[in-house]
Amino acid sequence: MIRRYRSTDTRRLFEQLKEDLGPDALILAKRSFRCEQFGLLGKEVHEVVASDRRDLSTSGLPGKAFELLGTLLEQGVAPELVRSLMKELKGEADQLEGQKDLKGALAKLMARRMPGPFMPIYTPRVMVLLGLTGVGKTLTALKLALSQGKAVVFCVDPGRVGPGELLKAYSRTTGVRVEAVSSREEFLKALEKYRDRELVVVDTPGVDYLDRTWPMRLKELIPSSPRFEFHVVLSATTREEEVSRLLGYLFAFPVCALLYTKLDEAFCFGPIYNQTVKTGLPLSYFTTGQRVPEDIERASRLRLLDLILGLTKGGEG
């Protein structure tokens, strides 16, 4: 039994851990982080992943696999997924020699649970970016436009201070075409105007949980079409609970892929794995910094598993 505990009070955390798992509790992973949401007001949160030592001793898992178990938990892979993966790995571990082979076998098991790579169907492409304010939708829109050949960015609701002005500034310096649209009529006219472009990236306003009409208003502006790709833009530093909440809020849209930003600011990549396995949604792109357009890459299973397991020297995949 593997369990995860979180608290701002370390004494209470370990009291609960011992109450649940007894004196034989084995700490598998621990970390601390600051959280400014849900009333915690920036307090330091302590997280511990633990198991009953007797459970692990009777699990039949070879000792050389325990290091990988700890790596998965430290990286934030969900305990239920870790249990399942370790159960499968146990059947192969005795035939493998060395940690490198064991790590490679685990990577294959993890990859099987993930959906395949995102593959665009239609040309020209229309990518609609959805997400919370501050995750980097606007910079991502510019990176995509500048790295995909003939492209244009549609700025939806440009009256908002921030995204509209930023796009205008980059438009002047990079030459990427930016079109402001604030109604369905303008949206359709802009699509017709740029019908020769290979890619249209639609930068939408940040999700507003307090405005229950937000999804309806956006759906009224952007017509429904199977040709449109709806990508949810997520920061690799966002708490997993918030990611799940956002995806639930966006269920009204035909989301086709997850796009993760700020990988350069993250230290745990297991939550990305958890979400793509849980939702069955493929990963489309990763962004790794502020440079436009250099810091963007097509996402892949190998790249993510490299970040989690360190399959190659230096973590490059």
For the ranges 149-153, 227-231, 306-310, which has the lowest average pLDDT? Answer: 149-153
Mean pLDDT of 91-107: 80
pLDDT computed for residue 314 by the predictor: 44
Is the predicted pLDDT of residue 287 greater than 60, yes or no? yes
Count CB-CB contacts under 10 A for residue 39: 7
pLDDT computed for residue 250 by the predictor: 92
Query: What tens digit of pLDDT does each residue of 256-266 get?
Result: 999 999 999 99
pLDDT computed for residue 317 by the predictor: 38
86 and 142 fall within a common domain: no
pLDDT computed for residue 10 by the predictor: 83
Is the predicted pLDDT of residue 254 greater than 90, yes or no? yes
Is the predicted pLDDT of residue 51 greater than 70, yes or no? yes
Which of 61, 80, 113 is a domain's end point?
A: 113
Q: Is 54 left (phi over 0), alpha (psi -120 to 50) or beta?
A: alpha
35 and 183 fall within a common domain: no
102 and 158 fall within a common domain: no
Distance CA 206, CA 138 (A): 10
CATH (domain of 237): 3.40.50.300
Which of 87, 113, 139 is a domain's end point?
A: 113
Q: What average pLDDT does the chain have?
A: 84
In contact, 254 and 277? CB cutoff 8 Å: no
87 and 129 fall within a common domain: no
Is the predicted pLDDT of residue 203 greater than 90, yes or no? yes
For 10, the domain range is 2-113
289 and 144 fall within a common domain: yes
Q: Could you tell me the pLDDT band of residue 39, with boundaries at 50, 70 and 90? A: very low
In contact, 284 and 258? CB cutoff 8 Å: yes
Is the predicted pLDDT of residue 31 greater than 80, yes or no? no
Distance CA 11, CA 139 (A): 43
Query: What tens digit of pLDDT does each residue of 131-157 get?
Result: 998 899 999 999 999 988 789 999 987
Is the predicted pLDDT of residue 161 greater than 60, yes or no? no
Is the predicted pLDDT of residue 38 greater than 50, yes or no? no
Residues 6+ apart with CB under 8 A from 144: 127, 151, 199, 201, 285, 293, 296
Number of domains composing the chain: 2
In a domain, 119, yes or no: no
> Cα 149 to the chain's mean position, in Å?
26
For the ranges 31-40, 122-131, 150-159, 190-199, which has the lowest average pLDDT? Answer: 31-40
In a domain, 131, yes or no: yes
109 and 129 fall within a common domain: no
Which of 113, 146, 170 is a domain's end point?
A: 113
Phi, psi (degrees; rounded to nearest 5) at 107: -60, -40
27 and 151 fall within a common domain: no
In a domain, 301, yes or no: yes
Distance CA 191, CA 154 (A): 9
Is the predicted pLDDT of residue 115 greater than 50, yes or no? yes
Out of 103-107, 180-184, 277-281, give the one with best mean pLDDT: 277-281
Mean pLDDT of 172-191: 89
In a domain, 309, yes or no: yes
178 and 301 fall within a common domain: yes
Q: Could you tell me the pLDDT band of residue 7, with boundaries at 50, 70 and 90? A: confident
In contact, 113 and 280? CB cutoff 8 Å: no
Cα within 13 Å of Cα(101), Cβ side = 8
149 and 272 fall within a common domain: yes
In a domain, 245, yes or no: yes
In a domain, 120, yes or no: no
In a domain, 234, yes or no: yes
271 and 305 fall within a common domain: yes
pLDDT computed for residue 193 by the predictor: 95
156 and 286 fall within a common domain: yes
For the ranges 126-130, 166-170, 234-238, which has the lowest average pLDDT? Answer: 166-170
Count CB-CB contacts under 10 A for residue 202: 28
156 and 281 fall within a common domain: yes
User: Tokens 């696999």, residue?
Assistant: 65
Angle in degrees, 0-180, between the axes of helices 66-74 and 98-113, rounded to the nearest 10: 50
Q: Could you tell me the pLDDT band of residue 59, with boundaries at 50, 70 and 90? A: low
In a domain, 52, yes or no: yes
Distance CA 283, CA 277 (A): 10
